């Protein structure tokens, strides 16, 4: 009995010693790029003790010496490590290409891609940086189905338009004016919400792609509903890089290269221009003959051009002599140059004893290819987090960006294209000629603009931060509060000097503009997460959120003219004695929100997601500020079912269904629901007096624009996911669309803002990834994406079904919101159709249009929708080849079905009707000797019809890289070393006459050339 007691005591003591000998083991789990991996399963082998890594890849677990700790995560090879007191225990997992998986940020949280129920696309750090693009938007082009990225200008540092699943606004201020599209992305009412490290953000151009860990794009309403009123146009979540606990790792990445003009328009050479001048004169005189008879081909051929030539080829300067001696000026080539581009990025990360840190410093310099165009950007990031205890973690992320953009002259691009090759830049003594072509003295010598006579300069400073506290009292509940301020200040300056086209050697016309912009905003989010098993095989995750967003901006501007010198530029507006404009502005808005999300999983096969957000916006009418936006989604992992689980060739099959609602208040300004007062001068008796009058109608019913979306998704993978397909079908209906209705003048007001209509976007998205060949030394991977969207107005106000606007826009039920509305072309009137053409007041050589109602009159009743500004479909294709340490990638993308007015064509096609004053693009045109041309006659054939297609296929990047071997790295004492060369935009295939069909919708004023960039790169870490 005593022996039994002693044995029992020894057992208890031994058990107790084992229990109390356990250590608290912590560390970080990273991938092969030293990026933290959230959601990794960490457990003690042979026990039920386990945990998972958080979003920063951190974990903590109790273990005893000699325990085997297992690290397991889908998409990576399982790793087992025997614990012998290591602290911290930081591990690196290697990818398992057969089961590759990723974590997706879905707003206030993250999930494994295999557990997604909504439509979310992700781009990792390698995809964002492999092409060495200068900004994030350029890096995304052609990479994600349903995300249309379009350049608004080809000047360095130019903004981009990013649109997710079509145009949700009935009247979009980004599509205005004669040229069809604004250069200002802030006017786009359908731009997505950008969230950078939890901060609502506006200008992602200032971010350095090298600082980005991941970009997640939430496309359907079930995914975006957690952002409520901000998510109707999609959400782009950007996560910057975090530190990794362990030894300090240093990285350096640099690029250096040059930019040259690509896809240059084919303008007339000197001899071709002289022949064109003859044709202009002949066509002008031939057109006059229709007033008195029926001219013939012989009449055209017999016109004596020489008697009119002096009106076009001047003898008042050297032009006639130049023509006689075939002495020409190539204005386009003379002002093109090679622009240099360099970037440097230095980073460090590491951590110990629960303190994790990372920092980076980046610099970019990008020169344009004409004039003084340039862009510089400095980026500084810092990330700190400290695990104070097993339950408490605090941290800070901050990001600073300073940029300076010099746009140079707004006229240089088109002036060098338009000046005739027959006129000179300098006189016989070598002096600059101020007005090279005395036929049109609006155009000054481009030499001045190319050297800074016209400057457009913008400096911006952005500072964002995120301070957070994360408290986890138990394994199944955590609380996080984060405060995220954002400060942006911008100075815009423009100076148009004495010898610019604006001033034309008249000091009273010299202009100086100085604008300032100061914006402060913050978000304060409180988040509670729950994660526990309700029963065996039943897991519940819940998130509760309260959020407050505040935004305040102040603007000021002044424009003065009449300077006695160019020396002040825009820094001394007081010296301009003619004050033309001055104004200040103060705007404040806020948004309060309460949200929740539930994720329920049954046997990890049946996945349910429910979310809702209750938003209150200060921008809407008093009784309509608050609204609730719900969503629900379901996913079924069919491939995990017993009846299909053992199918060898099937790797993945998942069906997703979702419905969600999201709001939008970006279509209105902060005070659109209110009436405004404006100053007015009036006569009081015999004296002038100042007063105020009501300048806008209030709308007490102004409420949320609401988008309701159904989405069906299918994820399919075969042969160990060597072929992986994702298919999305969606139907997105926006109701209560907000836009300004034109009012009758009798009302006393020009327009009123309200919820007047409804628009629908429906479409299909396909993403296909394949590993075509996979051997020890060689691999070939292909990534393909395709998206087609149909936009349609369902309802306008009341019985209204047609509302023309601007020069060629129309809002029409059943048609796209950005439709082009004009007459339908039907060829060119021919000489044997003189009588028929005369019915419509036309002559042979002019465009023929369809008389839709056959009433013999062309008016608005004959106008039809010819096309739309948005593309009908987009696609992207990337092929990546690797052989040992070499890799080659080729990326292409296309936009098809975009149609609109071309400002370039209106200035540069031969038949635009401005005599032969300017040089033109070498295009075919109608003459009696060339009756089969699809284009009208010169001079009298001009009528303002410059519509065209903007379709193109572009090779966006060709990249070649070499990764040094481990053996070489050991000798160099480095972790990694890579050399690369990238050629951006080497080829563009298009029928568009201008430089770049992607920017063809923009005004040629302030335009720029499409460029090809060759970059050499170096990337190392140690």
Opening angle at CA 521, ends 517 and 524, nearest 5: 175
Domain CATH for 64: 2.60.40.1120
Q: What is the pLDDT of residue 578?
A: 94
Q: Binning pLDDT at 50, 70 and 90, where does residue 173 land?
A: low
> 128 and 195 share a domain?
yes
Distance (Å, whole) CA 225 – CA 120: 13
Mean pLDDT value of segment 820-824: 95
Q: Which residue has the higher pLDDT, 264 or 315?
A: 264
Per residue in 372-385, pLDDT tens? 999 999 999 999 99
What HEC string does 653-683 produce?
A: EEEEEEEEEEEECCCCCCCCCCCEEEEEEEE
For the ranges 104-118, 275-289, 501-515, 628-642, the lowest mean pLDDT is seen at 104-118
For residue 543, the model assigns a pLDDT of: 95
**Chain Cα centroid distance, residue 404:** 20
The CA distance from 619 to 669, in Å, is 7
Which of 64, 99, 134 is the endpoint of a domain? 99
Q: What is the pLDDT of residues 873-904, one digit of tens each?
A: 999 999 999 999 999 999 999 999 999 999 89
Do residues 149 and 185 lie in contact, with contact meaning Cβ atoms separated by under 8 Å?
no
**Residue 101: pLDDT band with limits 50, 70, 90:** low
Task: Judge whether residue 563 has pLDDT over 90.
Answer: yes
CA atoms lying within 13 Å on the CB side of residue 46: 7
**pLDDT in the model for residue 12:** 39
Cβ atoms of 259 and 1011 within 8 Å: the answer is yes
84, 99, 114 — which closes off a domain? 99
| Distance set, CA 815 to CA 179, 665, 809, 849, 864 (Å) | 20, 24, 11, 21, 10
Q: What is the mean pLDDT of residues 775-789?
A: 94
Q: Is 920 exposed, middle or buried (0-12, 13-18, 19+ CB in 10 A)?
A: buried
* b/e code 409-429 from CB counts within 10 Å (16+ = b): bbbbbbbbbbbbbbbbeeeee
Name the pLDDT band for 96 (thresholds 50, 70, 90). Answer: low
Confidence bin at 5 (pLDDT 50/70/90): very low
**Predicted confidence (pLDDT) at residue 175 exceeds the cutoff of 70:** no
Say yes or no: 111 and 232 in one domain: yes
Classify residue 511: in a domain, yes or no. Answer: no
pLDDT of res. 339: 96
Judge if 31 and 156 occupy the same domain.
no
Q: Which residue has the higher pLDDT, 831 or 684?
A: 831
Structure tokens at 445: 């010598």
- Which is higher by pLDDT, 753 or 510? 510
Q: State the pairing for strand pair 79-82/68-72.
A: antiparallel
Q: Which of 296-300, 358-362, 646-650, 711-715 shows the lowest per-residue confidence on average (mean pLDDT)?
A: 646-650
Percent of the chain with pLDDT over 90: 62
Band the pLDDT of 317: cuts 50, 70, 90: confident
C-alpha to C-alpha distance for 114 and 726, rounded to whole angstroms: 12
Q: Does residue 87 lie within any of the structural domains? A: yes
Which H helix or E strand runs over 537?
none
Say if residue 233 is in the same domain as residue 112: yes
**Residue 155 falls within a domain, yes or no?**
yes
- The pLDDT value given to residue 22: 73
Strands 23-30 and 91-92: parallel
pLDDT per residue as tens digits for the range 207-235: 999 999 899 999 998 888 888 777 888 99
Chain segment 930-968, per-residue pLDDT in tens:
999 999 999 999 988 999 999 999 999 999 999 998 888
For position 75, what pLDDT does the model report? 65
Average pLDDT value for residue range 526-543: 93
CB-CB contact of 99 with 112 (8 Å): no
State whether 222 and 118 are in the same domain.
Answer: yes
Residues 189 and 210 in one domain: yes
CA-closest candidate to residue 332, choices 223, 250, 420: 420
In a domain, 111, yes or no: yes
Give domain status of residue 750, yes or no: no
Please check whether residues 234 and 190 belong to one and the same domain.
Answer: yes
State which residues form the domain around 119.
103-242
Judge whether 163 and 895 are in contact, CB under 8 Å: no
Let me know whether 50 and 174 are in one domain: no
Q: Is residue 846 part of a domain?
A: no
Q: Is residue 891 part of a domain?
A: no
- Nearest-angstrom CA–CA distance, 420 and 167: 41
- Cis previous bond, 88, omega within 30: yes
Judge if 109 and 214 occupy the same domain. yes
CATH at residue 219: 2.170.130.10
- The total domain count for the chain is 2
Res 969: pLDDT: 85
Average pLDDT over residues 260-287: 94
Do 554 and 515 form a contact (C-beta atoms < 8 A)? no
Name the pLDDT band for 998 (thresholds 50, 70, 90): very high
**3-class DSSP state of 979:** strand
User: How sure is the predictor about 184, in pLDDT bands with cuts at 50, 70 and 90?
Assistant: low
Domain co-membership, 78 together with 123: no
Which stretch of 83-92, 483-492, 650-659 has the lowest confidence by average pLDDT?
83-92
Q: What's the pLDDT tens digit per position in 390-439?
A: 899 999 999 999 999 999 999 999 999 999 999 999 999 999 999 999 88
User: Any bridge partners for residue 606, and if so which?
Assistant: 602, 636
Sign of the dihedral through C-alpha 215, 220, 223, 228: positive
- H or E element, residue 972: helix 966-972
Closest C-alpha among 210, 250, 213, 463 to residue 344? 210
Question: Residue 617 and residue 593: Cα distance in Å, rounded?
Answer: 9
d(CA 609, CA 540): 10
- Per residue in 479-511, pLDDT (tens digit) is 999 999 999 999 999 999 999 999 999 999 999
The CA-CA-CA angle for residues 246, 247, 249, to 5°, reads: 115
Shared domain check, 131 and 47: no
Strands, E assignment, 475-577: 477-496, 511-535, 538-561
pLDDT of residue 20: 42
Give the pLDDT confidence score for residue 663 in this predicted structure.
84
Say if 748 falls within a structural domain. no
pLDDT value, residue 17: 40
Last residue of a domain, one of 76, 99, 122: 99
Residues 25 and 92 in one domain: yes
The mean predicted confidence, pLDDT, of the chain is 89
């Amino acid at each position: 009995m005593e022996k039994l007691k002693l044995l029992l005591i020894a057992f208890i003591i031994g058990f107790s010693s084992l229990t109390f000998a356990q250590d608290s083991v912590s560390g970080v789990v990273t991938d092969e790029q030293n990026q933290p991996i959230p959601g990794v399963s960490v457990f003690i082998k042979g026990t039920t003790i386990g945990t998972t890594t958080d979003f920063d890849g951190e974990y903590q677990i109790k273990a005893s010496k000699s325990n085997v700790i297992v690290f397991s995560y889908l998409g990576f090879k399982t790793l087992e490590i025997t614990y012998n007191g290591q602290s911290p225990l930081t591990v690196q997992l290697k990818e398992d290409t057969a089961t590759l998986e990723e974590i997706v940020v879905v707003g206030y949280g993250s999930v494994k891609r295999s557990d997604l129920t909504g439509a979310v696309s992700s781009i990792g750090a390698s995809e964002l940086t492999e092409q060495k693009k200068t900004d994030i938007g350029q890096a995304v082009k052609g990479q994600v189905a349903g995300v249309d990225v379009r350049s608004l200008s080809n000047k360095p540092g130019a903004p981009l338009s990013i649109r997710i699943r079509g145009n949700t606004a009935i009247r979009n201020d980004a599509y205005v004016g004669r040229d069809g599209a604004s250069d200002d992305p802030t006017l786009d009412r359908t731009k997505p919400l950008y969230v950078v490290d939890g901060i609502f953000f506006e200008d992602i151009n200032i971010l350095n792609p090298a600082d980005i860990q991941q970009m997640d794009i939430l496309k359907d309403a079930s995914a975006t509903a957690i952002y409520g009123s901000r998510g109707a146009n999609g959400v782009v979540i950007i996560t910057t890089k975090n530190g990794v606990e362990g030894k300090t790792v240093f990285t350096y990445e640099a690029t250096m290269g040059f930019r040259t003009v690509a896809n240059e328009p084919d303008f007339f050479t000197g001899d071709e221009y002289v022949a064109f001048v003859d044709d202009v004169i002949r066509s002008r005189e031939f057109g006059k003959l229709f007033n008195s008879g029926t001219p013939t081909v012989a009449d055209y051929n017999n016109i004596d051009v020489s008697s009119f030539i002096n009106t076009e080829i001047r003898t008042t300067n050297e032009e006639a002599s130049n023509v006689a001696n075939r002495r020409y000026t190539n204005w386009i080539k003379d002002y093109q140059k090679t622009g240099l581009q360099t970037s440097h990025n230095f980073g460090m990360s590491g951590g110990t004893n629960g303190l994790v840190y990372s920092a980076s410093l980046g610099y970019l310099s990008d020169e344009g290819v004409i004039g003084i165009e340039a862009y510089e950007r400095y980026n500084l990031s810092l990330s700190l987090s400290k695990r104070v205890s097993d339950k408490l973690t605090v941290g800070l992320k901050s990001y600073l960006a300073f940029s300076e953009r010099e746009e140079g002259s707004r006229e240089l691009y088109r002036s060098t294209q338009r000046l005739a090759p027959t006129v000179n830049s300098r006189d016989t003594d070598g002096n600059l000629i101020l007005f090279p072509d005395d036929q049109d003295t609006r155009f000054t010598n481009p030499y001045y603009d190319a050297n800074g006579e016209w400057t457009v300069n913008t400096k911006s400073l952005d500072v964002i931060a995120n301070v957070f506290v994360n408290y986890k009292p138990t394994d199944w509940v955590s609380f996080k509060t984060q405060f995220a301020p954002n400060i942006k200040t911008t100075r815009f300056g423009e100076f148009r000097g004495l010898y610019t086209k604006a001033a034309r050697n008249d000091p009273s016309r010299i202009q100086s503009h100085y604008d300032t912009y100061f914006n402060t905003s913050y978000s304060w989010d409180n988040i509670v997460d729950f994660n526990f098993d309700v029963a065996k095989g039943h897991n519940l995750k819940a998130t509760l959120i309260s959020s407050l967003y505040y935004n305040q901006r102040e603007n000021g501007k002044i424009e003065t003219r009449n300077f006695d010198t160019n020396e002040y530029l825009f820094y001394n507006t007081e010296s301009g004695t003619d004050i033309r404009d001055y104004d200040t502005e103060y705007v404040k808005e806020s948004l309060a929100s309460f949200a929740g999300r539930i994720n329920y999983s049954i046997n990890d096969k049946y996945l349910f997601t429910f979310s809702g957000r209750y938003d209150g916006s200060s921008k809407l009418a008093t009784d309509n500020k608050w609204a609730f936006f719900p969503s629900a989604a379901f996913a079924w992992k069919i491939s995990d079912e017993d009846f299909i689980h053992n199918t060898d060739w099937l790797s993945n099959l998942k069906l997703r269904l979702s419905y969600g609602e999201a709001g939008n208040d970006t279509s209105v300004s902060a005070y659109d629901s209110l009436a405004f007062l404006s100053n007015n001068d009036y006569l009081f008796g015999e004296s002038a007096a100042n007063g105020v009058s009501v300048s806008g109608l209030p709308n007490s019913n102004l409420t949320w624009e609401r988008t309701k979306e159904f989405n069906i998704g299918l994820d399919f993978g075969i042969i160990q996911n060597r072929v992986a397909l994702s298919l999305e079908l969606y139907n997105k209906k926006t109701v209560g669309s907000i836009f300004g209705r034109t009012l009758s003048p009798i009302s006393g007001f020009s327009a009123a803002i309200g919820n007047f209509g409804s628009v629908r976007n429906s479409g299909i998205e396909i993403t296909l990834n394949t590993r075509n060949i996979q051997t020890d030394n060689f691999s070939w991977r292909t990534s393909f994406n395709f998206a087609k969207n149909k936009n349609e107005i369902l309802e306008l106000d009341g019985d209204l079904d047609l509302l023309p606007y601007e020069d060629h826009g129309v809002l029409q039920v059943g048609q796209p919101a950005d439709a082009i509305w004009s007459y339908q072309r039907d060829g060119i009137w021919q000489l044997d159709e003189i009588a028929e053409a005369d019915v419509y007041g036309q002559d042979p050589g002019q465009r023929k249009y369809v008389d839709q109602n056959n009433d013999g009159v062309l008016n608005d009743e004959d106008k039809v929708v010819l096309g739309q500004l948005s593309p009908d479909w987009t696609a992207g294709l990337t092929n990546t080849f690797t052989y040992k340490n070499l890799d080659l990638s080729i990326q292409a993308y296309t936009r098809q079905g975009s149609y609109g007015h071309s400002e370039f064509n209106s200035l540069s096609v031969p038949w635009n009707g401005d005599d032969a004053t300017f040089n033109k693009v070498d295009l075919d045109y109608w003459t009696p000797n060339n009756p089969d041309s699809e284009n009208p006659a010169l001079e009298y054939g001009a009528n303002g019809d410059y519509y065209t297609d903007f379709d193109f296929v572009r090779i966006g990047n060709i990249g070649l890289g070499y990764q040094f071997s481990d053996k070489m790295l050991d000798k160099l004492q480095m972790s990694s070393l890579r050399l690369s060369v990238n050629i951006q935009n080497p080829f563009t295939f298009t029928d568009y006459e201008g430089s770049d069909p992607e920017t063809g919708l923009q005004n040629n004023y302030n335009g720029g050339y499409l460029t090809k960039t060759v970059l050499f790169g170096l990337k190392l870490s140690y």
